């Protein structure tokens, strides 16, 4: 009986670790993608606001320099795109770092294990209740013996 419990516990621990690893990888990927998208939108909106301000200016000097300024902002926008790519690569490297990943996976496993065990136990209890209910509701089969010869 004790060996079975130890085996079950080892299986649960293995399951929790596998689940944590999958969740970690998906979360890191999602976070990196969301950060990339937010950075792209915010940068683009800010540069477009600056371009609009330059275009809307009534100042003669500004109008003379507007074309140059707009070109420079477009170049800056392209360079920022490259910077964003490098930041995202660095972020993904950090998330993929085996030391950092192991540290975070251990924390995730430790924190999710009790919840997962509770969920598994509730499911087992529900299955046991369902099985007991089915057993009570199942019609009793009677054997008919043929006594005639």
- Look at residue 144 and tell me whether its pLDDT is greater than 70: no
All residues at 6 or more sequence positions from 50 whose CB lies less than 8 Å from its CB, including other chains = 73
Q: What percent of the chain has pLDDT over 70?
A: 83
pLDDT digits (tens, 9 = 90+) for 13-71: 787 778 888 888 888 888 888 888 888 888 889 888 888 887 787 766 667 788 888 88
Query: What is the pLDDT at residue 68?
Result: 84
What is the rounded CA–CA span in Å between residue 120 and residue 87? 40
Choice among 52-61, 69-78, 88-97 with the minimum mean pLDDT: 52-61
pLDDT tens across 110-133, in order? 887 777 778 878 888 888 888 888
Residues whose CB falls within 8 Å of the CB of residue 44, separated by 6 or more in sequence, listed in order: 77
Residue burial 102-117, b: 16+ Cβ < 10 Å; e: rest: eebbeebbeebbeeee
């Amino acid at each position: 009986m004790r060996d079975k419990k130890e085996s079950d516990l080892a299986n649960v621990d293995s399951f929790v670790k596998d689940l944590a690893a999958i969740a970690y990888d998906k979360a890191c990927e999602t976070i990196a993608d969301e950060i990339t998208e937010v950075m792209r939108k915010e940068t683009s909106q800010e540069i477009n606001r600056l371009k609009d301000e330059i275009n809307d200016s009534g100042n003669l000097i500004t109008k003379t320099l507007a074309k140059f300024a707009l070109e420079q902002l477009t170049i800056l926008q392209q360079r920022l795109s490259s910077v964003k790519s490098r930041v995202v690569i660095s972020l993904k490297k950090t998330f993929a770092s085996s030391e950092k990943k192991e540290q975070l996976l251990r924390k995730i496993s430790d924190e999710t294990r009790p919840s997962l065990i509770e969920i598994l136990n509730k499911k087992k209890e529900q299955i046991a209740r369902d099985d007991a209910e089915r057993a009570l509701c199942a019609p009793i089969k009677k054997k008919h013996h043929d006594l005639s010869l």
